[in-house]
């Protein structure tokens, strides 16, 4: 009994000291500080590149992008060529070229950021000044047809080159026929946006997986 009593007296000061230490560990509540963010880490177009360094802030959805946040393009096989031939001393468009004109109008409607330059030419037969005017009339004829298909006039530019820049240099009828033409150059067309590959993407034909 005396031994147990002595052990209790020895342990009591240690227990009291622990209570004192716990009271010293209590602190007043400090609210969480407000974080001041130096840079905008938002990604408005959700392309994985933050606004602070995104050079193309309106990237199309699901587009494949480069390190600057800009979409990449590939050159598709979409119709964007126009080549119309004319009879001698004529600016009348043959009906066989109607499909070409309609396809070009559809292409321009699909890509409203583009415009087109129509280049008219003439064969070297006849006076140069007359051929110059005739080449412009041919380009004007194609422009009128494109406008009739719904292309705004302000997206069409025409140039008459006359008998300069011949496509064929021979003096035969076939060479002359090739030179009586209107060709087109589409301005502002980058290509179609290349999409990111996902598990839902379709593999190209004859592509094997392992």
More confident residue, 70 or 185: 185
- Examine the domain organization and report whether 142 and 59 are in the same domain: no
pLDDT at 209: 45
- Examine the domain organization and report whether 84 and 178 are in the same domain: yes
* 155 within domain boundaries: yes
* 169 within domain boundaries: yes
For 103-139, letters b (16+ CB in 10 Å) and e give: bbbebbeebeebbbebbbbbbeeeeeeebbebbbbbb
Lowest mean pLDDT among 11-15, 58-62, 83-87, 156-160: 11-15
- Examine the domain organization and report whether 179 and 107 are in the same domain: yes
Instruction: Provide the pLDDT confidence category of residue 124 given band limits of 50, 70 and 90.
Output: confident
- Examine the domain organization and report whether 68 and 89 are in the same domain: no
pLDDT at 181: 93
More confident residue, 7 or 42: 42
CB 86 within 8 A of CB 72: no
* 90 within domain boundaries: yes
Dump pLDDT digits (tens) for 82-107: 899 999 999 999 999 999 999 999 98
In this predicted structure, the answer to whether residue 49 has a pLDDT above a threshold of 60 is yes
pLDDT at 22: 54
More confident residue, 210 or 55: 55
Q: What percent of the chain has pLDDT over 70?
A: 62
CB 93 within 8 A of CB 145: yes
- Examine the domain organization and report whether 119 and 134 are in the same domain: yes
* 60 within domain boundaries: yes
Contacts of 184 (CB under 8 A, 6+ apart): 81, 82, 83, 104, 116, 117, 118, 119, 142
In this predicted structure, the answer to whether residue 8 has a pLDDT above a threshold of 90 is no
- Examine the domain organization and report whether 107 and 126 are in the same domain: yes
Task: Identify the CATH number of the domain in which residue 93 sits.
Answer: 3.30.1330.60
Number of structural domains found in the chain: 2
* 160 within domain boundaries: yes
Out of 33-42, 48-57, 58-67, 145-154, give the one with best mean pLDDT. 145-154
What domain range is 57 assigned to?
47-76
Q: What is the residue-averaged pLDDT of the chain?
A: 76
Instruction: Provide the pLDDT confidence category of residue 150 given band limits of 50, 70 and 90.
Output: very high
Neighbouring-strand partners of residue 125: none
CB 63 within 8 A of CB 72: yes
- Examine the domain organization and report whether 105 and 123 are in the same domain: yes
Q: Which of 76, 94, 121 is the last residue of a domain?
A: 76
In this predicted structure, the answer to whether residue 137 has a pLDDT above a threshold of 50 is yes
- Examine the domain organization and report whether 121 and 154 are in the same domain: yes
H-helix segments, the chain: 2-24, 98-110, 128-148, 173-179
- Examine the domain organization and report whether 69 and 85 are in the same domain: no
pLDDT at 71: 63
CB 135 within 8 A of CB 142: no
């Amino acid at each position: 009994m005396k031994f147990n009593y002595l052990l209790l007296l020895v342990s009591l000061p240690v227990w009291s000291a622990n209570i004192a230490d716990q009271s010293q560990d209590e602190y007043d509540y400090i609210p969480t500080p407000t974080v001041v963010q130096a840079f905008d880490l938002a990604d408005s177009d959700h392309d994985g590149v933050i606004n602070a360094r995104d050079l193309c802030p309106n990237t199309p959805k699901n587009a494949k992008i480069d390190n600057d946040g800009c979409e990449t393009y590939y050159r598709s096989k979409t119709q964007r060529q126009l080549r119309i031939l004319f009879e001698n001393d004529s600016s009348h468009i043959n009906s066989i070229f109607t499909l070409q004109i309609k396809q070009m109008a559809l292409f321009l409607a699909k890509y409203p950021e583009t415009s087109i330059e129509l280049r008219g030419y003439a064969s070297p037969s006849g006076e140069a000044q007359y051929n110059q005017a005739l080449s412009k009339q041919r380009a004007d004829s194609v422009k009128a047809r494109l406008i009739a298909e719904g292309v705004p006039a302000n997206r069409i530019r025409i140039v008459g080159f006359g008998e300069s820049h011949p496509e064929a240099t021979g003096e035969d009828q076939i060479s002359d026929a090739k030179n009586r033409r209107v060709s087109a150059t589409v301005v502002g067309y980058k290509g179609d946006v290349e999409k990111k590959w996902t598990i839902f993407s379709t593999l190209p034909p004859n592509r094997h997986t392992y």
